[in-house]
């Protein structure tokens, strides 16, 4: 059975039927960062829970978020760091982290396969890019589907 299945108060979405939305521009090979919503609304400041997919080799630039978030690596090899990619070991499936809001950090998918994360944002999702991680200054904010995030 494929597709969206609703029965007796349960909704099931199979992996092959999950919808992924580019969360910004893609490179010439279609690589980038993608989001698939599980719960909530990316347009508002309420709780939101989604899957985020980084194509293999993709790195997010230095950025902050207004609020805290909780993340779990579902697949792939991932790095989450504040200043240096080597601050922590590679994060592999089932690894978790908590990220405090307003703290500059970066992320990248390492290894040959895409990385999928499950991320919960109690106060909603946004992103503020910074030019100089030592002196944060917002240069872009992403909250809607019409603005790039990578």
| Structural domain boundaries, residue 50 | 4-142
For the stretch 25-69, pLDDT in tens is 899 999 999 999 999 988 888 999 999 999 999 999 899 999 999
For the stretch 86-127, pLDDT in tens is 888 999 999 999 999 999 999 999 989 999 999 999 999 998
Q: What is the total count of domains within the chain?
A: 1
Whether 149 maps to a domain, the answer reads no
Whether 50 maps to a domain, the answer reads yes
* Distance between CA atoms of residues 86 and 88, nearest Å: 5
* Distance between CA atoms of residues 74 and 117, nearest Å: 5
Find the CATH number of the domain harbouring 128: 2.60.120.10
* Distance between CA atoms of residues 69 and 100, nearest Å: 7
Hunting for tokens 């490179």 — which residue is that?
A: 27
What pTM was estimated for this model as a whole?
A: 0.83
* Distance between CA atoms of residues 82 and 80, nearest Å: 7
Which of 3-12, 72-81, 86-95, 117-126 bottoms out in mean pLDDT, i.e. has the lowest?
3-12
């Amino acid at each position: 059975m494929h597709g969206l299945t609703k029965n007796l108060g349960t909704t099931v979405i199979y992996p092959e039927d999950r919808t992924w939305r580019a969360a910004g521009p893609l490179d010439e090979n279609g690589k980038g960062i993608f989001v698939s919503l599980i719960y909530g609304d990316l347009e508002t400041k309420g709780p939101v829970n989604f899957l985020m997919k980084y194509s293999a080799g993709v790195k997010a630039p230095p950025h902050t978020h207004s609020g805290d978030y909780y993340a779990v690596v579902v697949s792939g090899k991932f790095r989450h760091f504040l200043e240096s990619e080597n601050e922590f070991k590679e994060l592999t499936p089932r690894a978790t982290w908590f990220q405090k809001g307003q703290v500059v950090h970066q992320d990248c998918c390492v290894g040959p396969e895409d990385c999928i994360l499950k991320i919960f944002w109690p106060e909603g999702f946004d992103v503020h890019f910074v030019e100089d991680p030592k002196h944060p200054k917002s240069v872009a904010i992403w909250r809607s589907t019409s603005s790039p995030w990578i």
